[in-house]
Amino acid sequence: MAQPRVAIVHDWLVTYGGAERALEQILKLYPQADLYALYDFIPPDDRDFILNKTVTTSFLQRFPFARKKYRSYLPLMPLAVEQFDLSAYDLVISSSYAVAKGVITGPDQVHISYVHSPMRYAWDLTHQYLREVGLRSGPKSWFVRWTLHRLRTWDARTANGVDEFIANSHFIARRIWKVYRRKATVINPPVAVDAFDLCTKKGDFYLTASRMVPYKRIDLIVEAFARMPDKKLVVIGEGPDFRKIAGKVGPNVTLLGYQPFEVLADHMQRARAFVFAAEEDFGIVPVEAQACGTPVIAFGKGGVLETVIDGETGVFFDQQTPESIVEAVRSFDRCRRQFDPGRIRENALRFSADKFRQRFKAFVDDTLSRSQVARKPSPGRKLSIKGRATAVPHEVADDDAL
């Protein structure tokens, strides 16, 4: 079988995050693929993860203030992504957490969509999103609500243009079924587990690390440790909630702000446990902590249920409240010696980049193979019309009307 012509479509290229790590590995599998994105603002020195490719961008790239206000053009994103002409490709792979899956493809093309999540702010997290951005009432609120309504309609419709869905977790597969009524194959995203070393000697502090945005719930963790003055907490990260969180810090909490990777890895290796209070689609950081042999104390909902083994590589708490976190930390502390760092790291190795590439390539090859078989013409049966043999497709030949 000839090598397919491949296009890869990503929502936007602004930073190097979890979705971009998956994109990086997909590009390693298909280095000759052409890359499309609504925006590309990756600096020249940081483009190794996209193989220094020239990216085909949308008309939104040239809009005023797009570099800093790219999300403000959300109402135009469906139109923008539909303008990509992908008719020259045999295989289209979309890496989507917003609109990338909405590209237009034809009946002789295969479209595989790796979904990090359906648009959370447009679906089940709509009301949480409106609360967090202060848009619960007023004219602007109703405009945003109308926009999200239109996005939901478009998003559901464009699911029909996808041949196969891949979800990054079973949690997201359930979300895909809920909003698109489509089954998805689960292939967990790649985690750079090899960048972290196993450490069997743990310190006397707990660690949390994250971008400080509301849904990460770093404030709850800080509040919980304020109620446990006998336990130390180190917090790494920065973001819009930094000042709010800093105001809740007690003497037993150290707020380090942004730190380079070396400092983060060192703290992850030495921490008694990593505390995680967010409801994530997958959750890369808890896997990184486990790669260090560090157990995880996590909110028991979302993708973390698939990466942490309760009682073996970590423990869960049931509610996003300081009280629930306090109970979980104290419970963990009573039995922490039962956690084996070697076994914890072994669990994390399931999510390596190598394993991601193997699973992804096998899935794509199988899908392409099945699509080739499906396109072979059915021989049907022969009918003689005025002395000429004619092949009739089965669905016509079996019609009683003939």
- pLDDT tens-digit profile, the chain (402 residues): 578 999 999 999 999 989 999 999 999 999 999 999 999 999 999 999 999 999 999 999 999 999 999 999 999 999 999 999 999 999 999 999 999 999 999 999 999 999 999 988 788 778 877 887 787 888 888 888 898 999 999 999 999 999 999 999 999 999 999 999 999 999 999 999 999 999 999 999 999 999 998 889 999 999 999 999 999 999 999 999 999 999 989 999 999 999 999 999 999 999 999 999 999 999 999 999 999 999 999 999 999 999 999 999 999 999 999 999 999 999 999 999 999 999 999 999 999 999 999 999 999 999 999 988 766 665 654 444 444 444 444 444 344 433
Question: In terms of Cα–Cα distance, which of 321, 91, 230 is closest to 103?
Answer: 91
> What does the alpha-carbon distance between residue 213 and residue 199 come to, in Å, rounded to a whole number?
29
On the question of a common fold for 6-190+353-375 and 193-351, the answer reads yes
> What does the alpha-carbon distance between residue 227 and residue 250 come to, in Å, rounded to a whole number?
9
> Per-domain residue ranges for the chain?
6-190+353-375, 193-351
Tokens of 285: 């950081």
Is CATH 3.40.50.2000 what the domain over 6-190+353-375 is classified as, yes or no?
yes
Model pTM score: 0.86
In CATH terms, the superfamily for domain 193-351 is Glycogen Phosphorylase B; (3.40.50.2000)
Give the other-Cβ count within 10 Å of 392's Cβ: 17
Single-letter amino acid code for the residue at 23: L
**Total number of residues shown for the chain:** 402
Tokens of 58: 């949308």
